[in-house]
Structure 1
């Protein structure tokens, strides 16, 4: 499912150094890293097929922030990434996106929030409330502490989707990449508000 939804995403292509064959290892590395400190939510149909999922990091956790997370699959992805891809990810992507998000959230805002790293629903099952149910589950966990929920996306088609899920657009910026510049939209949701 993730390959279908990511193959044309310029942010994903850029993170993979322009090599679409690395999208699967990149996605697996992110999902496996989430098993250390994060939470994964899956939606299934009667047959047991996963038709949607979300990867969240709760307050106090950040995806790929510790070596143990990298060892679960990101190291494998990284070893296959071109030198140009590694250089761009380390020197451009990490710097640009971190500075942009810190300008919106403050230096600890992402760390202090429930951060949604991936949310995907198979195209065949979209518009059936799957994403809403997943976001609502995390909202219920986050609201007793008054935690914020945050997400970013690189595709304009996702902006109205996240707004419909109760997120507010807080900013956007174009991220330069040798494989095509792409927009980064950043959203927040105040869990003290009732959905």
Structure 2
């Protein structure tokens, strides 16, 4: 097994690779207060929610991983991207890959929150702030995380740069949303600018989403 993590694009990933990627993100996001928000306080749903996003990227976007070797269990970092011309759950195939199962198994209250509050609120916020087609024409980072024991070693930056190089080649902007002050600072160090933020409320608490972008001309 290689000791040097390598970023790679998973093309037609196996079920085992998608499962492992979801497990990595579930562990990376476990301390994040926003996990409580998106699961309605039932964090046992986090894995399914994250897996739905990963599977959507695998079907209709780009799924990048950081791996120590060739096996699914070697994956230690995950980035779910939607390159220009793609978006999350925009096709029946993407939704069938995981979203349908997650939302159908959610409680009525959580389902209502996702479908009639969170998704519409984020869609309106993003289009109002950036313009209707900005994220559709950009590299949009949907999910990103590294296993806790590998954090703070520059590996996340390595995984991010893997996609940034592709954005540079196509002269595409990059967009993302995050919720923690720490992540805002990390992305600012990578050249991102805060474009706005929106409060997000649920029956289990209140948080916020911060919208950040990086123009292709700012990519080194």
TM range (shorter): over 0.9
Do the aligned residues in 2 keep the contact of 1:10 with 1:180 (CA within 8 Å)? Answer: no
Gaps of 5+ in 2: 1-23
CA distance in 1, matches of 2:60, 2:69: 29
**For this pair of structures, how many residues does the alignment match?**
195
Query: Is 1:155 aligned to 2:180, yes or no?
Result: yes
Q: CA deviation at 1:37?
A: 2.0
Cα distance in 2 between the residues matched to 1:134 and 1:3: 17
Q: Which moved more, 1:94-103 or 1:47-56?
A: 47-56
- Structure 1 stretch 8-17 or stretch 27-36: which is displaced more? 8-17
The one-character-per-residue Cα deviations of 1:50-74 (angstroms, maximum 9, x if unpaired) are 1111110001111111111111111
Structure 1 residue 15: deviation in Å?
Answer: 2.4
Distance in 2 (CA, whole Å) between partners of 1:40 and 1:47 is 15
Deviation at 1:46? 4.9
- 2:209: which partner in 1? 184
Per-residue CA deviation, residues 122-148 of structure 1 (Å, 9 max, x unaligned), is 121112222212222212111233210
- Offset at residue 150 of structure 1 (A): 0.5
What's the counterpart of residue 109 of structure 1? 134
Query: Secondary structure at the residue paired with 2:202?
Result: coil
Instruction: Give me the whole-angstrom Cα distance separating, in 1, the residues matched to 2:138 and 2:95.
Output: 22
Match of 2:94 among 69, 73, 76: 69
**Equivalent residues of 1:18, 1:85 under 8 A apart:** no
From 23, 29, 43, the counterpart of 2:52: 29
Kindly indicate whether the alpha-carbon contact (under 8 Å) linking 1:22 and 1:80 is maintained by their aligned counterparts in 2.
no
Gaps of 5+ in 1: none
Superposition CA RMSD, Å: 1.6
TM-score (norm 2): 0.82
